Structure 1
Amino acid sequence: MTGIVLHHVPQSRSQRVLWLLRELGVMFEVREWPFDKTLRGEEFLALNPVGRVPALEIDGRPVWETGAILQVLCERFPDAGLDRAPGHAEWIDWLIQIHFAETISQHAAVLTQGHLMLRDPSTRSPVVMKLEAARVGKCFDAIEARLDGDWLLRGGFSAADVAVAQAAVMARRFHRVGDRARMAAWMDRCEAREAFPAEDGGLYDRDFYEVPDA
């Protein structure tokens, strides 16, 4: 049996790996970590040398970086049909969307730091926060423009939807989906999937964070 252990912090990027594992229907173990200095300890740094989640152990080998983990899992379990293999007509688009998710997540991470990590209002930059929220909006525009069917790829649901939708779930705490009707319907479809993991606990304490006044 393939041994898979996901090292996970709720409401973080590791949420998308959890979702993918559930979509793949494989056996795995979850080890939950607190979002604190524990991630900088020797035990976790042996799994991810920069002290970030996710980290995945597969057959005793640590794998880190979310996009790499998704690709490794999809290639390991191709029967699930969640990847697009090299040479497939949608392979390049699949790769773009897998890695586009990290662009969205990075903007969300900056906003998370501004709203939650910098507790002293004097250390926050409303200008930067407003700019990053606008950049999330541009990412949402790209999703809206991309969708011309139920899923990001015409060939059907894939790990690309997992990656981008999970990033969008994080980012919509800082920029509303609004009147992007195709994106809103797509996110509803994603969240209605049986494998979609509920966000139990975690870092965020509200559904939406307004940009503070300058």
Structure 2
Amino acid sequence: MITLHHVAQSRSFRVLWFCHEAGLPCQVIHHSFFDKSLRSPDFLALSPAGRVPAVQVDGQVMFESGAILDYLAETHAPQFHRAPGTADRIAYLEWLHFAETIAVSLAILTKHHIVLREDHMRSPTVMRLEAKRLEKSLLAAARARRGQGVCGAFSAADVALGYGLVIGQKFLRYTDPALTEWLAALTARPAFQAALAQDGVPQIYTRDFYEAPDD
């Protein structure tokens, strides 16, 4: 049994989604960003930055979503992994980690639109530049797809990237078919729908869309 410490809409959704894709039993412990539970000594012992996800699996604790996905795929769901020496190993590693490039843009946009509550704290210029960077990154991943994923068959890398695509629509209006078709394919997956139903009440993104303000 995997125990997942989770906040709705956060990067821990990647792990929740992957567990449904792989059919891995998962106990979900829901947390909130708005109380002090993630700063408690007990939680900091699981995740030193006080963030989610944190998982307890195979008698160990892990706290980085990309590493968790790679470990779970390698040890529990090899059909979603690309082992050393296989043809798609390099692509798998590149795109799995490229998901963090996307996540950085999402984090910056989230901070400016949501976390920084006063208008004078926000930078419309940063919002626009980072939205454009996010769009370029997502398009690069979308155009790399071969069949169901960036490695041909669906893999853990597609879960990591797919989370970025799903959250990215809070800041971008997708018009390119590469993005709209990719989004439709991901969100139609039964495992995605099952994870979404278990995600919890939205805590971070309470609007459908966040528009960059004018200067």
Q: Fold-level match, TM-score > 0.5?
A: yes
What corresponds to 1:66 in structure 2? Answer: 65
Rounded to whole Å, the distance in 1 between the matches of 2:150 and 2:208 is 25
Q: Are the aligned partners of 1:97 and 1:160 in contact in 2 as well (CA < 8 Å)?
A: yes
Rounded to whole Å, the distance in 2 between the matches of 1:201 and 1:136 is 25
Rounded to whole Å, the distance in 1 between the matches of 2:81 and 2:161 is 14
Where 1:48 maps in the other structure, the secondary structure is coil
What corresponds to 1:134 in structure 2? Answer: 132
Q: Are the aligned partners of 1:105 and 1:171 in contact in 2 as well (CA < 8 Å)?
A: no
What corresponds to 2:53 in structure 1? Answer: 54
What corresponds to 2:111 in structure 1? Answer: 113
Q: Are the aligned partners of 2:142 and 2:182 in contact in 1 as well (CA < 8 Å)?
A: no
Where 1:207 maps in the other structure, the secondary structure is coil
Please report how far the alpha carbon of residue 74 of structure 1 lies from its aligned counterpart in structure 2 after TM superposition. 0.6
Rounded to whole Å, the distance in 2 between the matches of 1:90 and 1:177 is 28
For structure 2, the 5+ residue unaligned runs are none
Distance 1:200 1:4, change over 3 A: closer
Please report how far the alpha carbon of residue 168 of structure 1 lies from its aligned counterpart in structure 2 after TM superposition. 1.3
Where 1:62 maps in the other structure, the secondary structure is strand
Please report how far the alpha carbon of residue 148 of structure 1 lies from its aligned counterpart in structure 2 after TM superposition. 4.3
Post-superposition CA distance 1:77-120 (Å, at most 9, x none): 135x0111111100110111111111111111111111111111
Post-superposition CA distance 1:12-50 (Å, at most 9, x none): 000011000111101110001101332122111111101
Q: Which moved more, 1:50-59 or 1:142-151?
A: 142-151
Please report how far the alpha carbon of residue 76 of structure 1 lies from its aligned counterpart in structure 2 after TM superposition. 1.4
Residue 146 of structure 2 corresponds to residue 182 of structure 1:
no
Distance 1:117 1:19, change over 3 A: same
Paired residues for 1:1-214 under 5 Å: 3-36=1-34, 37-79=36-78, 81-154=79-152, 156-179=153-176, 181-196=177-192, 197-198=195-196, 200-202=200-202, 203-214=204-215
TM-score normalised by L of structure 1 = 0.92
Post-superposition CA distance 1:33-73 (Å, at most 9, x none): 10133212211111110111111111331101111101110
Amino acid at match of 1:157: F
Please report how far the alpha carbon of residue 200 of structure 1 lies from its aligned counterpart in structure 2 after TM superposition. 4.0
Q: Are the aligned partners of 1:173 and 1:207 in contact in 2 as well (CA < 8 Å)?
A: yes
Rounded to whole Å, the distance in 2 between the matches of 1:22 and 1:191 is 13
Post-superposition CA distance 1:170-203 (Å, at most 9, x none): 1221122212x12321221111111102254221
Q: Are the aligned partners of 1:6 and 1:54 in contact in 2 as well (CA < 8 Å)?
A: yes
Q: Are the aligned partners of 2:116 and 2:122 in contact in 1 as well (CA < 8 Å)?
A: yes
Where 1:195 maps in the other structure, the secondary structure is helix
Distance 1:122 1:43, change over 3 A: same
For structure 1, the 5+ residue unaligned runs are none
Rounded to whole Å, the distance in 1 between the matches of 2:59 and 2:108 is 33
Over the aligned positions, Cα root-mean-square deviation in angstroms equals: 1.4
Runs ≥4 residues deviating over 2 A: 147-151
